[in-house]
């Protein structure tokens, strides 16, 4: 089963230890996390269920491609990383 890990910066606000979940897509894996920790949803997703602009998600070392519907596949040995995106100038 995939493991979802959140940025350490999030720990300042919410408990977000790495968690092993079931799910064949990014959306399903995140939904499993949010079922157990609903407060994390608002940090990661917007009102339409897409990734927030300031959040980036990687599967292993590759960024997810579908930021809106979260349909990128994940395998049982994958690690999903949820991070704050760096922006600015």
Q: Any idea what the CATH number is for the domain that residue 73 is in?
A: 3.10.20.30
For residue 89, tell me if it sits in a domain: no
Confidence check: pLDDT of 14 > 90: no
Q: How far is CA 60 from CA 5, 64, 88, 89, in A?
A: 11, 10, 25, 27
Residue ranges making up the domain that contains 30: 3-84
Rounded to an integer, the average pLDDT of 7-23 is 88
Residues 54-67: what's their mean pLDDT?
Answer: 96
Q: What is the spatial distance between Cα 70 and Cα 57, in angstroms, rounded to a whole number?
A: 10
Please state the domain count of the chain.
1
**Entry pTM:** 0.91
Residue with tokens 């995939």: 2
pLDDT grade for 10, boundaries at 50, 70 and 90: confident
Residue 68 belongs to a domain:
yes
């Amino acid at each position: 089963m995939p493991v979802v890990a959140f940025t350490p910066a999030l720990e300042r606000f919410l408990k977000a230890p790495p968690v092993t979940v079931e799910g064949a897509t990014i959306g399903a894996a995140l939904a499993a996390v949010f079922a157990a920790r609903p407060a994390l949803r608002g940090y990661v997703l917007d009102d339409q269920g897409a990734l927030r602009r300031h959040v980036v998600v990687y599967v292993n070392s590759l960024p997810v491609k579908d930021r809106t519907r979260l349909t990128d596949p994940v395998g049982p040995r994958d690690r999903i990383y949820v991070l704050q995106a760096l922006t600015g100038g």
